[in-house]
Every structure is written in structure tokens, then in C-alpha cells.
Amino acid sequence: MVRSLKNTMVAAAATVLASIGLVTVSQAPASAAYGCSGTLIDTYTLKTSALEGNLTYGNIQLYYSSANSGTDCAVNVATTAGGAGHAKQMSVDIDKCDEDVPGICASSTFDGDVGQYLSYAGPVQVTGTNGHCVSLEGLISYNDRTAQLKGTGATHCR
């Protein structure tokens, strides 16, 4: 009880100090998850169709690192609605586009992962992405429904 009261008082004091600017609270950028190095730079939601309930089945997370003249890495992470913890068909693909401006992606370099997974597909990565765009796609099939990202086109151009 004493510890709980002490923790509550410390949290309240920190909140007051932060609100008047005497203490700053910052959150580090999300990084290095699911086997990807670098910083999380974008998330793409995979939803079922409106006829199938418009359920969020997962998210494709895109990470970037400056290593190897630019490395982009992606994973497809299932949500609870998308069957996290249950075996299901999942995929994630990443392409390094020949282009350096957003639009259609012509690619000769790609990495992909497809299979039966419990929680996530990937990681997949391409290197040498500085001066190029990337394109992503993926899917999750669970309970006779499919959520799919059919392709982002050339995006995250550097």
C-alpha cells in the first residue's frame, strides 16, 4: 500500500513538472523490431473488404536504416482480429524501385516472404535504397477472409 501510494505521488509530481515545463518527456522513435534494424518510418493497414466487415487484420511496418547505402525492411504483423497467435496464410514483399520519384515502381530487386505464420511474416529487406523508392505489398488470410495491400507503388523515395 505504501509503495502504491509512493508510486502514485511520484507519477503525479512528474505530470505536474512536465505540464509546467520543468521536466521534458520524450519518446524515442520506434526501432529494431521483428528482425528489422533501423527506425519505423511508416505503417500500412491491411483491412478486409466492407462486405467482410472492414476488419483490420494487420499492419505492414516499414523500417529504414542508413546502413549499406540505405536499407528498407518490412514485416507484416497480424492483429487479434487477423488471427494473431493462430496459424494463417501471410505474406509481405518489398521492392527496390528503379525510380527515385513516387509513382509506378519498376523493380529488379525484391525480397518476399509467404507462408503459414502465427504472428508475423518477414522480415524482408532491400539494400542500396538511397536514390530509389520502395514498394510494398502483403496479405493476411484468416477465417475465410483476406486483407490485402495490393501495392503502394513507388514510395519513400530518397
- 102-115 confidence digits (pLDDT tens): 999 998 899 999 99
Residue 90 lies in a domain: yes
Per-residue HEC secondary structure of 9-30 comes to HHHHHHHHHHHCCCCCCCCCCC
CA 158 to chain centroid: 19
Residue 93 lies in a domain: yes
Q: How far is CA 102 from CA 55, 105, 119, 139, 149, in A?
A: 28, 8, 31, 22, 17
Of 81, 39, 84, give the one whose Cα is nearest residue 62. 39
Residue 71 lies in a domain: yes
Percent of the chain residues past pLDDT 70, beyond the cut: 80
CA gap 10, 27 in Å, rounded: 19
Residue 2 lies in a domain: no
C-alpha cell at 22: 520543468
- Could you report the per-residue pLDDT of 22-72, keeping only the tens digit for each? 433 333 444 568 999 999 999 999 999 999 999 999 999 999 999 999 999
Residue 10 lies in a domain: no
Residue 19 lies in a domain: no
Q: Do the Cβ atoms of 38 and 71 come closer than 8 Å?
A: yes
**Counted domains in the chain:** 1
Which band of pLDDT confidence, cut at 50, 70 and 90, is reported for residue 158?
confident
Residue 14 lies in a domain: no
Strands of 120-127's sheet in order across: 39-47, 56-65, 71-78, 120-127
Which band of pLDDT confidence, cut at 50, 70 and 90, is reported for residue 4?
very low
Mean pLDDT of 138-151: 96
CA gap 41, 31 in Å, rounded: 9
Residue 57 lies in a domain: yes
CA gap 91, 93 in Å, rounded: 7
Q: Out of 11-20, 32-41, 137-146, which region has the weakest mean confidence (pLDDT)? A: 11-20
The residue segments making up the domain with residue 76 are 29-149
Report whether pLDDT(141) > 70.
yes
Strands 120-127 and 71-78, how do they pair? Answer: antiparallel
